[in-house]
Amino acid sequence: MIIWTLSLLVAPALAAPPSEALPPFPSRADVVEDCLRADPRESAAGTEIAAAKAIAAGATPLSPLMVNVDVAPLMGDMLGGEVSASWMLPAPRMRASQTALAVAGVSDKEAAQRMVAVEIAAEASRMVDEVWELAALRLIFDQHDAVLASAAEAVARRLGAGLATPEQRVMADMARVDLAEQRLTLERRASVVEARLAPLLAAVPAPIGSGEGAALYALSAWTRAAVMPSEPGPVLSTSTVRSPAVEMAEADLAMARQMEAMARRAGAPMTELMLSYSSMWGDPAMGLMAGVGVEIPIDGRVLRQQRIGAEQKTKAAETRVAAAKWAASQEQASAQAMVDEMAAMETLMRERMAPLTAERVRLARTAFENNRGTLADWLAAVRDDAHTAQRLVETRAELHRAEAMVAMARGELAGTELERK
């Protein structure tokens, strides 16, 4: 009666789609690609780049020609007018520095977009590994629940023959209840994944075939699956780029250097060419004027402080680049050490521990059925075997996550090398 009540209450919540109704498990790169399209942070970063490029396109090496028109009353109903044009000659290399600064601004926005893309890809990669782990763990729970069900049936038969006690029947039922409780915890994890997927699915149209969004919808279908999924594919992309954090620091340094160059040239004289015609003069010959003006900054203290401030900002940017490179190397080394540890652990559990626990279950069952062992020994062997299988899946998922950490530190997560529009 305990088993029947448990299945009545839990089975509807744990219902998994049949394996024939499931699409193929999506590849990591396809899920990353769909997430990059659906996540608003990526489109916002693209807008920032477009704005920076527009500013850079307008940063010409020449000052604009300024035209001024004035109209004023002279005497009675007579009006006088003046038209003037002026053109400020740029200080030596000043406009070139301004153009270079605008270009550096584009590089800074592109580096920021790269950072955003890698963050989105890392989140998508972790979600893929989470769904993979959930599906594999469900299958393990189902398999070991079947083993425990057979143990309960064996105890029931022996109880009818007077070879078992009611306490042993309760013990077998409690083992299944304990496994069902673990399964409920697993389903809570699945609900969290579904909550993360919901806004992404809402941002892409329902796919037709293998089109845009198909990987996200396939991943959503697998969140409640109880089938061993295929491996989600490699973490690393084929591109070779540096850490996005280093790229951003270097872009900031390029901007700081251009700002310093502009501060050094801010005290240079500025020359202005002027041409004007005025009808306010009585003699038309006097209405046409041409001239040259020179602007010379005289507040040297302010300019000196600006130069010193720009130099300090450049030094600070250089320090940030060095710090970013050091942090990236440390992060990569730490993540690689985790990869090596998880790979060794996965090999140990798969090649040695899993076969031993499976053999222990077989021996314990045989001993119990031949009255040479206890039910407690059999159930303990089943629990250890289930725990080993779970740890093997979890270790493999941790290995995937550690590989993603290495790839993120290098900016090489699969899918992030896609061209941006």
3-class secondary structure per residue, 160-203: HCCCCCHHHHHHHHHHHHHHHHHHHHHHHHHHHHHHHHHHHHHC
Least confident stretch, 294-298, 302-306, 360-364: 294-298
SS3 358: helix
Residue pLDDT, tens place only, 164-217? 888 988 998 999 999 999 899 999 999 999 999 999 888 877 766 566 788 899
Residue pLDDT, tens place only, 146-159? 999 988 898 888 88
> Which H helix or E strand runs over 215?
helix 214-221
CA 295 to each of CA 74, 89, 102, 388, 421: distance values in angstroms, whole numbers, following the listed order: 32, 11, 25, 81, 45
Report yes or no: 294 and 269 within 8 Å, Cβ to Cβ: yes
Phi, psi of 210 (to 5 degrees): -105, 30
> Mean pLDDT over residues 104-121, rounded?
84
CA distance 259 to 387: 61
Over pLDDT 70: what percentage of the chain? 80
Report yes or no: 288 and 277 within 8 Å, Cβ to Cβ: yes
On the question of pLDDT at 11 being above 60, the answer is no
Instruction: Assign 408 a pLDDT band (cuts: 50, 70, 90).
Output: confident
User: Nearest to residue 325, comparing CAs of 258, 244, 405, 414?
Assistant: 244
Contacts of 168 (CB under 8 A, 6+ apart): 155, 158, 159, 375
pLDDT at 7: 30
User: Nearest to residue 106, comparing CAs of 261, 239, 258, 312?
Assistant: 258
| Cα angle 353, 356, 357; round to 5 | 85
Residue pLDDT, tens place only, 87-100? 777 666 667 777 77
CA 282 to each of CA 199, 278, 289: distance values in angstroms, whole numbers, following the listed order: 75, 10, 14
Report yes or no: 213 and 34 within 8 Å, Cβ to Cβ: yes
pLDDT at 359: 95
SS3 382: helix
pTM of the model: 0.71
| Cα angle 73, 79, 80; round to 5 | 95
Selected residue with higher pLDDT from 179 and 292: 179
What average pLDDT does the chain have?
80
On the question of pLDDT at 395 being above 60, the answer is yes
Instruction: Assign 236 a pLDDT band (cuts: 50, 70, 90).
Output: low
CA 257 to each of CA 54, 262, 263, 317, 323: distance values in angstroms, whole numbers, following the listed order: 21, 9, 10, 9, 18
End-to-end CA distance of the chain: 62
The domains found in the chain, sorted by start residue, are 25-227+235-410 (1.20.1600.10)
